[in-house]
Amino acid sequence: MIVVMEKGATREQVDHMVERIESMGLKAHVIVGTERTVIAAIGEKRAEAKQSLESGSGVSEVVPILAPYKVASREVKKEPTQVVCRNLKIGGGAIGIIAGPCSVESEDQIIKTARAVKAAGAQGLRGGAFKPRTSPYSFQGMKEAGLKLLALAREETGLAVVTEVMAIEDVDLICKYADMLQVGARNMQNYRLLEAVGRVRLPVLLKRGPAATLEELLLAAEYILNEGNPNVILCERGIRTFENHTRFTLPLATVPWLHGKTHLPVVVDPSHGTGHTWLVPDMAAASIAAGADGLILEVHPDPENAMSDGYQSLRFDQFNDTMTKCRKVGEALGKKL
């Protein structure tokens, strides 16, 4: 249920309603909007709870949340959520660009890439230190040594570091170095991991599972929100279909559809979404045209010799051209990149 407070309801009235909601065994999430404050009351609803809450002081109305995802839903929060992480702003009218290699490989590689993507206009630096690889024999990432290199690149450039967390036991370590946690496609439905990242203060970039519906993606986000972390960014990175001309099929209707259903920002990953460098610039521009709040792109100084995903990584000059293209599309829509 959503407890909609009257315009101008006092702090005491809101606190009182939170107490009442919690005393009913429900979880209360307070959402302060520009117009008014609402409190999402989450849990098994009891028939008498609605009536009882409606009588609270400062309460305008109590309405059911129809969507299966609650805190993520537009019904609860009309205004778009903006996630801010250093100079990286995603959502609520801001477009944020995260770029960098699939994997951190060396100091030279990550520092060069950080400088190049910053110069081209990115605000976030991606780079995997813990890599989810299809084969156990493939490069698994530099682990903590990679995290240290990412932190060094941040020191040098000021870019916000975005890196993947694959396991609950790594959350604390990664939080020491990262600015934003990425939950990868393969872990979208790892519910204990989602709860663990819901308990930290860093924003979470949640990638769509290649076989997950958008409702499942929103319910996965709900696990994070329900633990108290309000800064969740949804990422479309392509799904598995019968089509094999691309690595995955990148459905861009995801962007406006999600914007209709949730206040959470939506970014697109055209690198994994296509699996081919030459398709990335056009799909990046198309993502901006579809209304994406940001992009996450793989960029490498020497894609031919990359230790992972070189075939879909942009060289620095290609990333620069992609940014120019995306800026033009953004301008046409009255948005700045």
* Residue 263 binds which entry of Mn ion, ligand PEP, none, CB below 5-8 Å type-dependent: none
For the CB of residue 247, give the shortest distance to ligand PEP in the complex, in Å.
Answer: 9
- Please give the order of strands across the beta sheet that includes 37-42: 27-32, 37-42, 2-5, 59-63
Assess 128 for contact with ligand PEP (CB under 6 A). Answer: yes
Binder to Mn ion among 102, 193, 224, 323 (CB under 5 A)? Answer: 102
Please give the residues from 54 up to 113 whose contact with ligand PEP meets the rule CB under 6 A. Answer: 102
Q: Which residues, including other chains, have CB under 8 Å from residue 246's CB and lie 6 or more apart?
A: 238, 273, 274, 275, 276, 279
The beta-strand segments (E) located in 47-173 are: 59-63, 83-85, 88-90, 96-100, 124-126, 160-164
Q: Which is nearer to Mn ion, 223 or 248 (CB)?
A: 248
Q: Is 272 in the site for ligand PEP (CB under 6 A)?
A: yes
* 247 sits near ligand PEP (criterion: CB under 6 A): no
Residues 147 and 155: their CA atoms lie apart, in Å, by: 12
Whether 336 and 121 have beta carbons less than 8 Å apart is answered as no
- Which one of 53-61, 281-289, 305-313, 318-326 is the stretch in contact with Mn ion (CB under 5 A)? 305-313
205 φ, ψ (degrees, to nearest 5):
-95, 110
Residue 89 Rama label (left phi>0; alpha psi -120 to 50; beta): beta
131-160 binders of ligand PEP (CB under 6 A):
132
What residues between 167 and 206 interact with ligand PEP by CB under 6 A? 184-186
CA distance 252 to 11: 41
Site for ligand PEP (CB under 6 A): which residue of 89, 207, 263, 300? 207
Site stretch for Mn ion (CB under 5 A), options 25-33, 61-69, 97-105, 328-336: 97-105
Per CB under 6 A, residues contacting ligand PEP are 102, 128, 132, 184-186, 207, 237, 272
